[in-house]
Every structure is written in structure tokens, then in C-alpha cells.
Structure 1
Amino acid sequence: MSEVRAAARYARAVMDFALEQKQEGQVEKDMRLIRETISENPELGAMLNSPVIQGSEKKAALDAIFKETSKISKQLFGLLAENKRIGLLDLVAERYLFLYEELKGQDVATVLTAVPLTADLEAKILKQLKAITGKEVTIENQVDPNLIGGFVLRVGDLEYNASLDSKLANLKRELIRK
């Protein structure tokens, strides 16, 4: 949990600095690129979290991979490397995107499902979320084939778990209590 808090602090600092420099949009593009690249390349994530590789080598690799990113993002690489927190880069990018969407008056809802959402179902979810939050919401669908059925919906700090796993766990607890 402390990693999430640390990532949130770094993301807030980057957001504040980006706003001061009027570069929040460019940094947002950088953070999306960073998230996408790390998620598509597990080797990169493993390298960033490796205790064997020096922070300076990790920073050099990030500078080479993300050579087109803004100065602010490159400064973040250096700061994380210096503080031995470079493994948090993906979490920092995620939190920054959350802050950016919040700044723009939008929320990002993460929907975890066993199969990809259909366009019709996504539209229904968006309609319900707008009614609940009163804000424009975008959906990020994450597919987890290990999920037996149902879905897990996260918007900001709220989570609604309607997965079959959750229902079975609740049923098991009820049976054990009786």
C-alpha cells in the first residue's frame, strides 16, 4: 500500500509541475505511452523492478526508449532513479492519468471482465455511470480470463464487485457462519 501512496505523491508532484509549466497535456501523452509500453513489454517491467540493475542503467534505458517524451517526464525518470523508486514508474503514470482525467472533469472507469465488452453493453455502463457520478466517464476494459463470470467496476476510489468469484466467496462465508 505504501507503494501506491508514494506513486500518488510523485504523480501529484509531476501534475503540479506540469500545470505550472503548462505542459500537462504533453505529459499526459507521455504517461499513456509509458503505461502502454510497460504493459506490452513485461521484460521492461521486470528490468525496472530488478534489484540487480543499477538505477542509472534503468534511467539510461528509459531515456533511450522514451527519447521523444517531454523534459518533465525525463526529469521524473531521473528523480525516481535517484530515489531508488524507478519500479514505481507504471504506478506513477497510472496515477497521473487519473489526476489528469479528474482535472478535465472526467472519470475513468476500469471494468474487469472475462471477455471484452460489447459496444451495446459499454454504452449501457456509460449511461449508468454518468447518472451515478454526474460526470463524463470513459471506460477502460481489462480482460481477465481467470474471472469466471460477472465483472468488477472501479471508478476513482469506488469499487463494485459483481464477479462470480465474489458471490461464491460471500456464499462460502455465509455457510461457514451457520
Structure 2
Amino acid sequence: MSNRAAIRYAKAILESANENNTAAVLFGDMQSVYGTIEGSRELQTVLQSPVIKAEDKKEALLKIFSGQSGTTHSLIKVLVANKRTPLLGKVAKTYIDLYNEEQGIKVANVITAVPLSSELEAKVMAKIKELTGSEKVSLKSEIDPEIIGGFILRVGDIQYDASIVNQFRMLKREFKNQYN
């Protein structure tokens, strides 16, 4: 239920932003809102808490996001009025996804063992273009030392695993199959 509600709110503000030619500005706002909420366990707790009064939540959110647009402030007020403040992060994430989809931007998640070098980033971007056929790509990078080297790429439902740990797994499987 909450996901459907988040989608409805996100679609409504995207539609409004498109009518007012502020979709790109609101996209920046929603990235900030989502990043702030995801990065703060305390803020997530406040949004979820039934003990904290709605008016206090609204006041806190409006202070935290004081630099955002009027549309973002209106969204916060509507969510507070409808007792839906826990949805704010989901609404922001859904808006980001809808905006990217509308703009034809593919979001790619890449996992590497070390921070992306410009050389590896170029290889990853080339692979994304090969897999999706899209020139518009937003790249999100994550570091996981467990993969040893190479990269794991996810774009939508597509996953491409060029990690060293995956190559070791494949080698192990080959040896098992040959000698069993």
C-alpha cells in the first residue's frame, strides 16, 4: 500500500513540475531529500515515530530542507497533513526514478573493489552503452572489496559480472565438472 501511495504522490508532483517547467529543479530537490533521509538513521526514526507530533515533524523537515523549492515544501506539508511523513523518502526515490525514465536516462549501478579510475569508468560506460543502447546514463558507484577486482554492473534487470571473484567461481565450477 505505501509503495502505491508513494508512486501516486511522486506522479502528482512530477506532473505539476512538468506543467510549471520545474521538473529538473525538483529532481535536484528530490535527490537531496532522498540522500538526506537515506544518510540519517535519526531522521528516518523521526519520520516513522508515532510519538513525535506531526507539527514537530513538519517544522523539522521544513528547517532541514529550507533551501529546497516551494513544491518540495508543499509536498512535505501535504504528507504531514495526510499523516504520510514516513513516505517522504520513498516519494523522493520514486520521483527520481520517474524523472529518469521520462528523460530516457538509464541508471546504472557499478560495484568495484576500489574507487573507479577514469579508465575503468570509460570501460563501464562503454559496456552500459553496449547493453542498453542508451547514450544517456547516470552512473552510481559502490565499493565492495569482496569482489577483489573488476566490476559488477546492474542496469535495470540486466546484470553483467566482470569481477575477479566471479571468474574464480567459474573456474572452480569448471574444475569440479572436469574432475567429478
* TM-score bracket for this pair, using the shorter chain length: 0.7 to 0.9
Distance 2:95 2:151 in 1: 25
| Counterpart position of 1:174 | none
- 1:63-74 equivalence runs, <5 A: 63-74=62-73
Question: How far is the alpha carbon of 1:113 from its aligned partner?
Answer: 4.5
Unmatched 5+ residue regions in structure 1? 172-178
Question: How far is the alpha carbon of 1:114 from its aligned partner?
Answer: 5.1
TM-score (norm 2): 0.76
| Counterpart position of 1:143 | 143
Distance 1:131 1:109 in 2: 13
TM-score (norm 1): 0.77
Unmatched 5+ residue regions in structure 2? 174-180
User: SS in structure 2 opposite 1:90?
Assistant: helix
Distance 2:6 2:115 in 1: 29
Structure 1 residues 84 and 159: CA distance shift in structure 2, 3 A? farther
**Percent of aligned positions that are identical:** 40
Structure 1 residues 130 and 161: CA distance shift in structure 2, 3 A? closer
Q: Does structure 2 conserve the Cα–Cα contact (< 8 Å) formed by 1:126 and 1:138? A: no
Question: How far is the alpha carbon of 1:152 from its aligned partner?
Answer: 5.3
Q: Read off the aligned partner of 1:154 and give its amino acid letter.
A: R
Distance 2:96 2:34 in 1: 10
Question: How far is the alpha carbon of 1:159 from its aligned partner?
Answer: 4.6
Distance 1:64 1:92 in 2: 19
| Counterpart position of 2:120 | 121
Q: Read off the aligned partner of 1:74 and give its amino acid letter.
A: H
Q: Does structure 2 conserve the Cα–Cα contact (< 8 Å) formed by 1:152 and 1:159? A: no
Distance 1:76 1:61 in 2: 14
| Counterpart position of 2:60 | 61
Q: Read off the aligned partner of 2:141 and give its amino acid letter.
A: N
Question: How far is the alpha carbon of 1:31 from its aligned partner?
Answer: 0.9
Distance 2:114 2:82 in 1: 39
For the aligned residue pairs, the C-alpha RMSD in angstroms reads 2.7
User: SS in structure 2 opposite 1:84?
Assistant: coil
Question: How far is the alpha carbon of 1:46 from its aligned partner?
Answer: 1.9
Question: How far is the alpha carbon of 1:87 from its aligned partner?
Answer: 1.4
Q: What is the aligned residue count?
A: 164
